[in-house]
């Protein structure tokens, strides 16, 4: 990973801690009032600003399983918008979106924000994350919003460890278990009984 990416990743680490408090953000909490000034990837298109975008993979290197997209999405407009899709161009990744509550779409309220990733927040799960993301890289991520349309930026790819563990995928592979000792098949042979002498003993003559 290049030096610039490392610097960005360190900045993203510090920012990840601060964005946790955004899960309960309501009207009036926009990028300006929150005073967030990250030097990692962020983008503004019309009324929408996306920042702190990350792709968070499994905690163990090379582990199979889902990854997630984590980001803060701000809507400075007067109309709510929904996040209709998130895609990772150049990959075969399939991203499943889920709102924090209910079964509806992820909605970014007017003059408000939504946090994607972390317990109790909306989620964006990359089903085949182990194939689509490699730690240390930067991945192009496109958010498709109902009014603004496509909003793209590059997100750092990090494992769900240290500061990022609370933003990682909930479903992680189970730890391997030790296989039980093999049970012999078949019926063990019955030990032979001591031989029983047959006939009468011979009496020695005098």
70-93 tens-digit pLDDT: 999 999 999 999 999 999 998 888
DSSP state of 122: B
The structural domains of the chain, with segments of one domain joined by +, span: 3-167
Q: Which residue is associated with the tokens 């994607």? A: 116
Question: Quick check: 167 and 55 in contact, CB under 8 A?
Answer: no
Q: Regarding the domain delimited by 3-167, which CATH topology (the fold level of the hierarchy) does it fall under? A: Immunoglobulin-like (2.60.40)
pLDDT at 137: 83
d(CA 96, CA 69): 10
Comparing CA positions, the residue from 44, 43, 52 lying closest to residue 76 is: 44
DSSP state of 163: G
d(CA 58, CA 187): 46
Q: What is the pLDDT of residues 22-42, one digit of tens each?
A: 333 433 344 333 333 344 578
d(CA 11, CA 52): 9
d(CA 93, CA 126): 6
Average pLDDT, the chain: 75
Which pTM does this prediction carry? 0.65
pLDDT at 197: 53
């Amino acid at each position: 990973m290049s030096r610039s990416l490392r610097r960005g990743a360190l900045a993203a680490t510090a920012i990840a801690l601060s964005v946790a408090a955004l899960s309960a953000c309501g009207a009036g909490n926009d990028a300006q009032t929150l005073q967030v000034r990250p030097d990692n990837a962020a983008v503004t298109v019309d009324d929408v600003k996306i920042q702190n975008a990350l792709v968070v993979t499994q905690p163990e290197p090379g582990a199979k399983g889902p990854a997630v997209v984590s980001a803060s999405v701000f809507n400075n407009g007067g109309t709510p918008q929904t996040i209709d899709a998130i895609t990772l161009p150049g990959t075969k990744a399939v991203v499943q979106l889920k709102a924090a509550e209910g079964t509806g779409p992820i909605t970014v309220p007017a003059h408000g924000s939504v946090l994607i990733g972390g317990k109790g927040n909306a989620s964006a799960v990359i089903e085949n994350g182990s194939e689509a993301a490699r730690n240390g890289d930067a991945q192009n991520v496109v958010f498709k919003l109902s009014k603004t349309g496509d909003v793209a930026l590059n997100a750092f790819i990090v494992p769900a460890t240290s500061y990022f563990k609370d933003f990682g995928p909930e479903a992680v592979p189970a730890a391997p278990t030790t296989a039980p000792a093999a049970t012999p098949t078949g019926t063990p042979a019955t030990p032979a009984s001591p031989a029983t002498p047959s006939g009468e003993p011979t009496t020695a003559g005098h």
